[in-house]
A and B are shown apart, each in its own frame.
Chain A
């Protein structure tokens, strides 16, 4: 397993408060990894350690195979980072800022021109690049934050609450951008408190609370593990013993509960197996009147996990 980010027993204290408490985190390369936790869980502190803004009090941090220790510009060369509510110098114009940042990455003048136009188009700031950043709204600064994170075409993009301050249309656009860049083999590490956003874009998640990791892995697996198995409710036209017997023998069904003509089926898989079940029922002579898959969401899993801890 190729890891983009790995923390081992990471510790960060602010005086007597332990913000990050022996955090062990593994982020696979080429995934969109959601980083979740309630307010004050230690998400932003962890991210700040990853990008070198804070020094850990203990543990080890590796980003793209390189250990993060002190001021290490070589690691940052491969990272695009958008902080939570980014702020940029008001005296610069949008284009000037991106041009200066591009130069810091060693991108040639010609290439900078092309890339700046491309990222401005992606984040919807084209036409406003010659305005001073001081004249930008919060949403526009947020878009500029995403643009500067994409500019160097990094291997790893760390986004801290990318949708904060954006209007609903902007949020949808950002999700689209995240999915698009991930398709091209970029690892996206995304911190967000919008669980539906994480559910829509992330393939993997890590949930932290009080600085420690409570769960980490593939999104569906985490949901299934925390919220229990997926349930399928099937209503038949008539009660049928044959249907019950056939379904009982399907490998992905662990339990069937009968309530007159309704069957409550407990699945052992998180995959969508409705077609197989429908086919089996029809083969056994049953007629399906109604079928509903009760898939539990990330929100429920998250709440269960936090309440439990």
Chain B
């Protein structure tokens, strides 16, 4: 038995940054794509996409209504995903990226390698970016093909990369929040539960605050759907226009809407019991969009910094 070959190179020089970073990315990517939770959410997202493609066809058959081609089916929807889907992708991708390593003890061999904790942290974040980007790209491609087959040639498919970027920005608000919770708690269950509570609390309270109070502006500064408003167009229910939301989860839909109609304005309203809808104020869609993007970036920066700082200074006791 020979331990060292001696003719082989000795590890004496500092490894390249790219080698160490890519090693962490590979480590995390292999984990992400083998996570049952992530695969489950991906399969569910494909199932929902299939349903949204087929449901109008099924309904038109069921009610005997003529089925019409819809060239805006894919891009006109303003993104493939609801806020809940974006949150789910974020949650299953990173809920145990940090905390799981501490719980299982796998953090010990990892952080005792010649790789700084910052590289480990950002390697993990980058791997989740790649994983979610791949998942969204597949979903958009599926919708584009399915939409073209079922609803005929589609308009504005060139906006798909922008839609993916918009969805990624929205998702990474939740990714960074979940990462921060994971780094601080070092407990996956606690991370998941607290993230779900935050998401549900915002999702449930936002429409109530938005529709029944005059303080809806505050929702523009919290993650999620944001405040409700409408842009002028075809009436939708009791609204004299098309309903829009203004939060970080709505970046893609507002981005598409802005590119297609840059001069649109968002009007905010309040529902007064017995008196109907009271218009509060209006602002350009460009303001809504740029504000939601800045808020998203602020959340990503602050939460990621918190997660990184907690991870970098964490002591491995167990």
Listed in ascending order, the chain A residues whose CB lies under 8 Å from chain B are 14, 48, 51-55, 71, 73-74, 76-79, 81, 83, 85-92, 96, 100-101, 103-108, 111, 114-115, 118, 121-122, 145, 148, 150, 152-154, 176-177, 180-181, 184, 186
Contact = CB atoms under 8 A, between A and B. Distances in A.
Contacts of B4: 153, 181, 184
A154 B11 contact: yes
B117 interface: yes
Q: In this complex, which of A51, A103, A115 has the most chain B Cβ atoms within 10 angstroms of its Cβ?
A: A103
A106 to B, nearest CB: 3
A186 B118 CA distance: 30
A91 B127 CA distance: 15
B77 interface: no
A76 B118 CA distance: 15
B109 A148 contact: yes
B8 A114 contact: yes
A108 B9 contact: yes
A54 B111 CA distance: 11
16 contacts: A53-B112, A55-B315, A76-B112, A83-B105, A85-B105, A87-B108, A90-B104, A101-B23, A101-B113, A104-B19, A105-B113, A106-B16, A107-B11, A118-B5, A153-B11, A186-B3
Nearest to A133: B106
B34 interface: yes
Contact of B106 (A48, A53, A81, A88): A88
The 3 closest A-B pairs by CB, nearest first: A106-B15, A103-B23, A87-B105
Contacts of B1: 121-122, 176-177, 180
B108 A86 contact: yes
Contacts of A96: 30
A91 B8 contact: no
A123 to B, nearest CB: 10
A92 B109 contact: no
A138 B315 CA distance: 25
Contacts of A77: 11, 14-15, 114
B27 interface: yes
Nearest to B101: A89
B117 A71 contact: yes
A83 B112 CA distance: 10
B316 interface: yes
Given A55-B315, A77-B14, A184-B4, A104 B106 contact: no
A122 B1 CA distance: 7
B158 interface: no
A86 B27 CA distance: 17
A87 B316 contact: no
A186 B9 CA distance: 16
B118 to A, nearest CB: 8
Nearest to A84: B108
Contacts of B8: 111, 114-115, 153
Contacts of A122: 1, 3
Contact of B23 (A14, A76, A104, A177): A104
A230 B316 CA distance: 44
B120 to A, nearest CB: 9
A74 B111 contact: no
Contacts of B13: 106
A45 B14 CA distance: 27
Contacts of B315: 53-55
